[in-house]
Structure 1
Amino acid sequence: MTSNGGLIYVSMQYRLGIFGFLSGTEIAQNGVQNAGLLDQRSALDWVQRNIRAFGGDPSRVTIWGGSAGGGSVTAQLIAGGAYDEPPFAAAIAEYPWWQPFLNQSEQNMQYNTALRLSNCSSVDCLRSIPTTTLATLSQRVENDTYPTAGDGYGVYYFGPVVDGKFIRELPSTAFSLGHFYDVPLLVDHDAYEGDIFSNMTQTTQVEETADARDLFPFAGPSFFSRLYQLYPASDYNSTFFQRQTWFGDFIINCPTYIMATNAVDRNTNSSAVFKLTFAAGSQLHGATSNFLASNITGFPSANNHTLAEIMSSYWISFAETHDPNPVRSSSAPFWPSYMSNGTGVAAAGQSVGFDTLAVTYTTIEPATDPDASAKCDFFYAHQYQVQN
C-alpha cells in the first residue's frame, strides 16, 4: 500500500433511500429520522471502541467521504449541534453534496406517497414489508413524485432532514453559528460538478427556470433575477452549461467555501484548513476518486499515475498528521493552508488569503479560491431558498 502500513482503512455501510431517510411527522413520532446518518455515527462509535484491536488509535480517526459521502461528513461535523467530543479527529469532505433538505410538509408528502403506493396506512405496516419489496417501493416513490417541490433534476428525493436532534439546523446555518466540531478540515471539488446532474434537453432559460422552481420552491422573482445576473446566458455556450455551472456551485462548490471560511474563523487551529480544486482526469463529479481510491496497486484507473501518487500522498499525510504536507511525495508541491498569503495581520482583519491548491492536467500550484465570490455569497445569503 502507498501508506506503507501507516493507515487502517475502515469502510462503513449505512441505510439509503427509504430505508435510511424516510421522514415525516409519523416517522418522527414513531421511529427516527436520518436513520442513515445514525448508522454512520454508530459505526464511528464502533471504531472508537474497537480500532485498537486492529492496531489503530481511536484518537487519530479521520473521516473521509465524497459526494453524498462528503455530505455525510458535513452531517457528522454538525451532529447534535457538535455538543460533545466527536468520534473522529479530522475530516475530509470531498465535493460535499448539500442538496435541499425537505421541510416538514414535503416530508409528509413523501411519507404519504409511500403509504399510498404500498397500500399501507402506518409506519408499522411499512416495517412489515419484505426488504426487496421495500427497495422497489423506494424507487416507486421517487418515480411517482418527480418532479415536485424539493425534487428537481439532479437531486435525490430521500436525504437528510433537519430533525431537531441529530441535525438541528441547515448545514450553512450550523457553520455560520459555529455549531460544528473543531477538527482539522480538508475539502475539495472538481471542475464541472453540475455536468452529470443537468438536463441536456433543456434549451431555453424558461425550461431551466421551471426545473429550478422544483429545486427551490421558496425562491421567487428576485431570487431568479439575481441568479441570472450572476450567471447570464451570454456567458455560456448553451443553457445546459449555464445550468451545470450554477447547479455545481450551489450544491457543492459553494459549500466547500462555506465550510473552509467558517472553519478558519471558528477552529482552534485556523491553519489546519485546506482546500483543493481538481481540473484533471474527467474533471467531472468524482474525478478525484481514480487518483485516490484503488484496491489495486498503482492506481490503474488513473490516467496519470504520477498525479495519483501525488494526490494519494497528500491524503495520507493529512490522515497521519492533519496536514497534507509533512509526509507528501517528494514530487508533490507544497499545499498552502486556506489561511496562507493573506495581507496584513489578524488584528487588522486581513490575514486570510483564501489559498487553495489548484490541480490541472499540467500544473499543481496555489491559487486563490475561485468560490470566494459574489456567486457563493448569493447562495449563502439565500440558504433558506436553496437548502430548504
Structure 2
Amino acid sequence: MLSRWVLFPVLFVAASAKPLVVDLGYAQYRGHALSNGVAQWLGIRYAAPPLGSLRFSAPQDPDEVDGIQDASQHGPLCLPINTYPIPADSSEDCLFLDVYAPVGFRGLTLKPLSVFVFIQGGGFNQNGNPYYNGSSLIQASDMGIVIVTFNYRVGPYGFLSGAEIRNDGSVNNGIKDMIQVLKWVQKHIHKFGGDPNHVVLGGDSAGAAAITLLLSAYNGRDDGLFHAAAAESQSFAPMYTVDEAQFAYDNLVIRTDCYNAPDTLACLRSLDTATLQKANIATQLPGAQDPPLYFYAPVIDDDLVPDYTYRMFEEGRFLRVPVIFGDVTNEGTLFTTKNLNSTADAHAFLQDQFPALTQKHLSRIDHYYLRDIHSTKPYPDSTPYWRPTSNAYGELRYICPGIAMSTAFANAGAPSWNYHYSVLDPEDEASGDGVYHVVELNAIWGPENMWWSDTIGSPPPASYFGSNAAIIPVMQGYWTSFIRSFDPNTYRYPGSPRWETWGGGRHGGGRPERLFIRTGETRMESVPRDQRERCEYLISIGVELTQ
C-alpha cells in the first residue's frame, strides 16, 4: 500500500531550466522551462483579491503591479467549509491559475496550440483537485496542447446567496470566477502559445457540474469562451433559488453575531477572515435531519443560472458543442455512510442530500436498490445497506445525469460521447470502494502528477503504477485527441478501440452506447437494460428533486 505522501513534481526545476517572462499587461510573470520540455507558470493572479468590499462580489480584474513576478509557486487554495483553524495552504485571497505549455511555444512559425482549461471538483465546498501537473498530458499530446488549472471561490465565499447578496453583491461567484478565467484565456493564452479559438473545458465532479452550468449559462448564450467540453462524473445536486437560499445567509449572520447590525452584509464583510471561517460550517438543509455532504451550491438566479439543469437541457437551452460525459462504476461508495442499519437509515441519508425526496420516490428507489438487501455482498466495516444505498446515490447524483446529458446532446445533433470507467484495483475491490468517484483522474493526468494532502484527495491506487499502468496511455490518448480535434478518436492511442458516439454505435438506431474502460478490456458497450430503466425514472423526477 502506498504511504500517504504528497507529490509536488511541478516545484522541482532542473538546473538547466531557463526563465520565461510573459507580459500580461497588468503584470509580468517569470515561469520556467523544465528539462522534460514543458514550461510552467504557477500562481498567476487572474482577478483582484476578493477581500473587503469585494467579499461576496463578482470577480474584478487584477490591479497592475510593477516588476517581474516569480511564478514558481502555486497560489493558495480557496477556503473550504468546515475547516478551522485556516489551513496553512489556504487563503481568502486565492484567485490564482497555473499554465503549462510546451517549451517551444515561442517559435513564430508554430501553429497555435489547443487549450485545455480544467475545472477542479470539491462539491463547491472546497478546492478538491488542486495543483495537478500538466506535463504528462502535454507529452501525451505530442506537445500539442496548453493547459490551464485554477482555484475558484467555494462555500460562502463563492456561493452565499439571499436578498442581501443579490442587492449589494453577487451570487454564484464561484461560477463567475470560472468565467473570469475563461475571459483571461481569451485575452492572454496566445502569449503562452495557445489558441483562444480552440478552448476545451474539462472538469470533474463539481467541476463537471460547472461545465453543465456553463453550457447552459444565460439560456445557452454563446459568448465564444470555449468550444468543446469533457465532464467527468457530472454532479447534479439540489438547487435553490436566491430566495430559497436565504436560510443559509440568515444562519451565517446569526453565527457571526451580525444579526443585530443595521447592515448585515456590511457586517459580514467587515469580519476578519478567521472569524468568518470559524462560522463557516454546514447545517442541515430545510426538511432534512442532518447536514448534507455538500452544503453550499450554485443557485438559480434567473440570469447566469436561469433554471434547473435538467429542465434547461430538456428544453434545449444549451450550447451545441462536442462533449464527453461519463462516470465510474461505483460513484457513491466514497460518500455513503457505512453504518446504515435499516431502510429508514438509507432513506434519511438520501433525504439529507435531496430533501425533496418523498415517500413515493423512496418507495420506487427501494424497489430498484434495496429489495434484495440480504443478498448484498459483505464488505469490511459496513452493513448490507451500504452498497445498495451508495448505488442509489451514485446513479441519482452522477451516472443518470451523465446519461441524460449525452442523450440531450445527441438529440440536438451535437457530437456526444459517453464512458463507463471500470478499471479494477485489487485493494479497492476488497474494501468495497470499488471503482470510486473520479479515480479516472489518475489515468488522465498520470498518477505521478496528482496532488493530495491529509484533507484533500487520496493517493493513487497502487495498481496504477503496476498492473493498471497500461490504461494511462489509453485514457490520455482519448483525452488529448479530444482536446486537439474535438474528437477522441483522431489521435487515440494505437490499438485503442474506436469510441463511437452516443446513439451512433454499431447497433445504430440511436441505441445508447458508451465506452467501457478497463485495462486490457476497453470496448464499446450498451447501457444495461436495468440501468436504463432506473435512470429513466430518476431523470423523470429530476426537476421534482430540484436538480
- 2:487 aligns with 323
Once residues 150 and 384 of structure 1 are traced to their aligned partners in structure 2, the CA distance between those partners, rounded to angstroms, is 18
Alignment of 1:160-199 (within 5 A): 160-199=298-337
Once residues 365 and 72 of structure 1 are traced to their aligned partners in structure 2, the CA distance between those partners, rounded to angstroms, is 29
Unpaired runs of 5+ residues, structure 2, are 1-138, 377-383, 429-434, 452-458
Q: Which sits farther off after the overlay, 80-89 or 227-236? A: 227-236
Once residues 62 and 106 of structure 1 are traced to their aligned partners in structure 2, the CA distance between those partners, rounded to angstroms, is 34
Query: Residues 150 and 157 of structure 1 are in contact (CA less than 8 Å); yes or no, is this contact kept in structure 2?
Result: no
Once residues 252 and 10 of structure 1 are traced to their aligned partners in structure 2, the CA distance between those partners, rounded to angstroms, is 25
Specify whether residues 153 and 186 from structure 1 end up closer, same or farther in structure 2 by C-alpha distance, changes over 3 A only. farther
Specify whether residues 273 and 76 from structure 1 end up closer, same or farther in structure 2 by C-alpha distance, changes over 3 A only. same
**For 2:319, what is the secondary structure of its paired residue?**
coil
Query: Residues 24 and 104 of structure 1 are in contact (CA less than 8 Å); yes or no, is this contact kept in structure 2?
Result: yes
Q: Of Structure 1 and Structure 2, which has the larger fraction of its residues in helix? A: 1
**For 1:96, what is the secondary structure of its paired residue?**
coil
Q: Which sits farther off after the overlay, 1-10 or 220-229? A: 220-229
Query: Residues 442 and 450 of structure 2 are in contact (CA less than 8 Å); yes or no, is this contact kept in structure 1?
Result: no
Once residues 362 and 206 of structure 1 are traced to their aligned partners in structure 2, the CA distance between those partners, rounded to angstroms, is 41
**For 1:375, what is the secondary structure of its paired residue?**
helix
1:288 aligns with 2:446: no
Cα shift at 1:324: 0.7
- 2:545 aligns with 386
Once residues 298 and 247 of structure 1 are traced to their aligned partners in structure 2, the CA distance between those partners, rounded to angstroms, is 26
Specify whether residues 218 and 154 from structure 1 end up closer, same or farther in structure 2 by C-alpha distance, changes over 3 A only. closer
Query: Residues 474 and 492 of structure 2 are in contact (CA less than 8 Å); yes or no, is this contact kept in structure 1?
Result: yes
1:55 aligns with 2:193: yes
Once residues 175 and 348 of structure 2 are traced to their aligned partners in structure 1, the CA distance between those partners, rounded to angstroms, is 32
Q: 1:273 aligns with which of 403, 416, 420?
A: 416
Amino acid at match of 2:193: G
Q: Which sits farther off after the overlay, 83-92 or 319-328? A: 83-92
Q: Which has the higher contact order (CA 8 A, sep 6+)?
A: 1
Q: 2:505 aligns with which of 335, 338, 341?
A: 341
- 1:308 aligns with 472
Query: Residues 356 and 367 of structure 1 are in contact (CA less than 8 Å); yes or no, is this contact kept in structure 2?
Result: yes
Q: What are the superposed Cα offsets for residues 264-292 of structure 1, whole Å, 9 maximum, x if unpaired?
A: 1114x4xx211110111451001101111
Cα shift at 1:154: 5.5
- 2:181 aligns with 43
- 1:365 aligns with 523
Cα shift at 1:214: 2.9
- 1:27 aligns with 165
Q: 2:513 aligns with which of 355, 360, 363?
A: 355
Cα shift at 1:384: 2.7
Amino acid at match of 2:419: L
Cα shift at 1:64: 0.2
Query: Residues 192 and 245 of structure 1 are in contact (CA less than 8 Å); yes or no, is this contact kept in structure 2?
Result: yes
> What TM-score, normalized by structure 1, do the two folds share?
0.90
- 1:258 aligns with 404
Q: Which sits farther off after the overlay, 362-371 or 172-181? A: 362-371
Specify whether residues 218 and 153 from structure 1 end up closer, same or farther in structure 2 by C-alpha distance, changes over 3 A only. same
- 1:128 aligns with 270
Q: What are the superposed Cα offsets for residues 294-317 of structure 1, whole Å, 9 maximum, x if unpaired?
A: 484799942422110110110000
Once residues 44 and 298 of structure 1 are traced to their aligned partners in structure 2, the CA distance between those partners, rounded to angstroms, is 23
Query: Residues 151 and 157 of structure 1 are in contact (CA less than 8 Å); yes or no, is this contact kept in structure 2?
Result: no
- 2:207 aligns with 69
Specify whether residues 72 and 254 from structure 1 end up closer, same or farther in structure 2 by C-alpha distance, changes over 3 A only. same
Amino acid at match of 1:179: R
Cα shift at 1:361: 4.1
Once residues 541 and 157 of structure 2 are traced to their aligned partners in structure 1, the CA distance between those partners, rounded to angstroms, is 31
Q: 2:534 aligns with which of 369, 375, 379?
A: 375
Once residues 301 and 217 of structure 2 are traced to their aligned partners in structure 1, the CA distance between those partners, rounded to angstroms, is 11
> What TM-score, normalized by structure 2, do the two folds share?
0.65
Amino acid at match of 1:277: H
Alignment of 1:67-106 (within 5 A): 67-104=205-242, 106=244
Q: Rg bigger for which structure?
A: 2
Query: Residues 100 and 150 of structure 1 are in contact (CA less than 8 Å); yes or no, is this contact kept in structure 2?
Result: no
Q: What are the superposed Cα offsets for residues 4-36 of structure 1, whole Å, 9 maximum, x if unpaired?
A: 210000112210111001111221222111000
Query: Residues 300 and 306 of structure 2 are in contact (CA less than 8 Å); yes or no, is this contact kept in structure 1?
Result: yes
Amino acid at match of 1:314: Y
Once residues 298 and 65 of structure 1 are traced to their aligned partners in structure 2, the CA distance between those partners, rounded to angstroms, is 15
Amino acid at match of 1:249: E
Query: Residues 148 and 214 of structure 1 are in contact (CA less than 8 Å); yes or no, is this contact kept in structure 2?
Result: no
Cα shift at 1:147: 6.2
Specify whether residues 176 and 86 from structure 1 end up closer, same or farther in structure 2 by C-alpha distance, changes over 3 A only. farther
Specify whether residues 209 and 10 from structure 1 end up closer, same or farther in structure 2 by C-alpha distance, changes over 3 A only. same
Specify whether residues 341 and 332 from structure 1 end up closer, same or farther in structure 2 by C-alpha distance, changes over 3 A only. closer
- 1:348 aligns with none
Q: Which sits farther off after the overlay, 291-300 or 351-360? A: 291-300
Query: Residues 284 and 352 of structure 2 are in contact (CA less than 8 Å); yes or no, is this contact kept in structure 1?
Result: no
Specify whether residues 306 and 298 from structure 1 end up closer, same or farther in structure 2 by C-alpha distance, changes over 3 A only. farther
**For 1:157, what is the secondary structure of its paired residue?**
coil
Amino acid at match of 1:274: W
**For 2:327, what is the secondary structure of its paired residue?**
strand
